[in-house]
Chain A
């Protein structure tokens, strides 16, 4: 009987404690290497001074610094704006791709999906490095510009915010595409035929039928892209050099280079708070707006 319970094959109404053994390793892992470390960041952010090891005391010093110092404040605002831009751009160009993937027959979908999954699973540094080759001095863009006579000599293209945002869009597009695809593949194509039969053109069908039904996928895709963008640090460091600062890159700098963990901790907490607010706002909105569609979709 014990065996049976362990394998989740128990009959109705049989109480079992097997689940405890099944979740125990994961609980330990999460407790020690996820929850406690995050709690540690909270504690560190309240240390005064700049000492990372053996710090003591409690103060709001770090937070005051983050809020009052114009440099940190502008980085924070810029980063949030960047997050909004990147997630909007990803939505606008990712939606058509995700939607078309959902509607394609399996054979055609397969290789296109590989094109989406490969950059998703490929190491970030490799992608960024690829862009440096494309945008760099001897790169593709410069060669093109020179050959059409737009410029005389290769110029330095990276090291600006536009380049960083372009690369971030490319990195995070797959998340948006897959999110849209998975929600769109659950929309019955018959609904679109019904809309067309009711004299809606493609744009009306898109606006009145597809977008409202795809909204949960749109929201979750945008949240994910926003979070990934505001915490990015590899791309701004490698492409932006010292010119483009983002929240993620200054946290990395404080933690790894300056070894100022209290300030890094406060910045990390600010980042965590910003992302939490965005997630809760989006979820609140989604819960209000789509809860009832979703329940009817589930009932089906």
Chain B
């Protein structure tokens, strides 16, 4: 198969319940081996989209194609998808090995082939020693790996992950995320992955689809989504940023009222500009760029760095900075900051 052929295609997918629209004309292509993430707040339609791919929800209109064939009206149990559920949905009355073998029996694996495949999968997720255990006897992280092994054993065309890390505690989550990404990349499986956690989406996915009330807001690589958000919603949903409303004049200077002036090489006219907090620094820490006087309105300690809310003549500016121990500014202090013009992004006009 050609590397760029889409394994999963969604065409104009719509889902309406009674009078509410859950998913509104979503179109997507996921290519072989890609990790695509659907990201959005709860109720944005990402899970409904995933369920339409798996076949548990019937689209109101539009179609789902897996490896080029239309599966829109195909029953869930005929589709070549492997799903890891948010709750993992491990069968409580079957052991780990029986859970993994269940799917293999349904596609007609002989007993010997089943055993081999189960063993292979348990090796893949490093759980050989737990094959006789029941799901209730496993930790959350182990259950997640069993659910993954069960889905992967079927060698599905598309792997579907529904918030697979949400039931794990924070520390474990970070480690398992890295492990899982490495594993999925190693076996080159096409993956559609749903999350509401922007950090998870950025570190996990090859491409991120940001959704909002059923619609796709932006599709792009994690860096594109973060650095060049297409809409105000994306800018604010992902990470932290200062938002400036102002005008670009004929000399390529962006101004908001009197407070902010930044060089911005763009067409003249009204503009919304965002600046990520890491592009705002204390004046002494950045060599160039315009200097502004700011009053500290809040300073929150995060360990490695501090997040400050600053007031620059009535305009709120957010800054992330590292201060040597005991040298951070207090609320009400006046400090000088610079804004790196490289970090100023103009949002596309709508």
Contacts and interface: CB of A to CB of B under 8 A. Distances in A.
Touch test A–B (CB under 8 Å): yes
Interface of A: 1, 4, 11-14
Given A11-B55, A11-B58, A11-B75, 10 more contacts: A1-B75, A4-B75, A11-B56, A11-B57, A11-B76, A12-B56, A12-B57, A12-B58, A13-B58, A14-B58
Closest 9 CB pairs of A and B: A11-B58, A12-B57, A13-B58, A12-B58, A11-B56, A11-B57, A4-B75, A11-B55, A14-B58
Contacts of B58: 11-14
Interface in B38-64: 55-58
A13 B60 CA distance: 10
B9 to A, nearest CB: 21
Interface centre among A4, A12, A13, A14 (most CB of B within 10 A): A12
11 contacts: A4-B75, A11-B55, A11-B56, A11-B57, A11-B58, A11-B75, A11-B76, A12-B56, A12-B57, A12-B58, A13-B58
Contacts of A4: 75
Contacts of B57: 11-12
A14 B58 CA distance: 9
Nearest to A14: B58
Interface of B: 55-58, 75-76
A1 B75 CA distance: 9
Nearest to B15: A12
Contacts of A1: 75
Nearest to A13: B58
Contacts of B75: 1, 4, 11
A4 to B, nearest CB: 7
A13 B57 CA distance: 8
A11 B57 CA distance: 6
A1 B55 CA distance: 14
B63 to A, nearest CB: 16
Nearest to A1: B75
A12 B58 CA distance: 6
Contacts of B55: 11
A107 to B, nearest CB: 18
Contacts of A11: 55-58, 75-76
A21 B56 CA distance: 24
A10 to B, nearest CB: 10
Nearest to A11: B58
A160 B56 CA distance: 65
A163 B55 CA distance: 65
A11 B76 CA distance: 9
Nearest to B57: A12
A14 B75 CA distance: 12
A282 B17 CA distance: 38
B74 to A, nearest CB: 11
A49 B177 CA distance: 84
A4 B57 CA distance: 15
Contacts of B56: 11-12
A236 B58 CA distance: 61
A12 B48 CA distance: 12
Nearest to B17: A12
A190 B187 CA distance: 48
B55 to A, nearest CB: 7
Contacts of A13: 58
A64 B318 CA distance: 87
A181 to B, nearest CB: 25
A4 B78 CA distance: 13
Contacts of B76: 11
B99 to A, nearest CB: 19
Nearest to B48: A12
A186 to B, nearest CB: 22
B59 to A, nearest CB: 10
B329 to A, nearest CB: 39
A11 to B, nearest CB: 5
Contacts of A14: 58
A1 B73 CA distance: 12
A1 B58 CA distance: 14
B53 to A, nearest CB: 13
A109 B57 CA distance: 43
A4 B56 CA distance: 13
B172 to A, nearest CB: 27
B80 to A, nearest CB: 18
A13 B75 CA distance: 14
A14 B76 CA distance: 14
B228 to A, nearest CB: 37
A293 B186 CA distance: 53
B319 to A, nearest CB: 40
Nearest to B55: A11
A13 B22 CA distance: 14
A14 B55 CA distance: 13
A33 B57 CA distance: 41
B72 to A, nearest CB: 12
Contacts of A12: 56-58
Nearest to B51: A12
A43 B55 CA distance: 55
A164 B75 CA distance: 63
A12 B17 CA distance: 10
A236 to B, nearest CB: 49
A4 B58 CA distance: 15
B16 to A, nearest CB: 10
B60 to A, nearest CB: 8
A285 B283 CA distance: 71
A271 to B, nearest CB: 46
A16 to B, nearest CB: 13
A8 to B, nearest CB: 14
A14 B57 CA distance: 10
A13 to B, nearest CB: 5
A11 B56 CA distance: 6
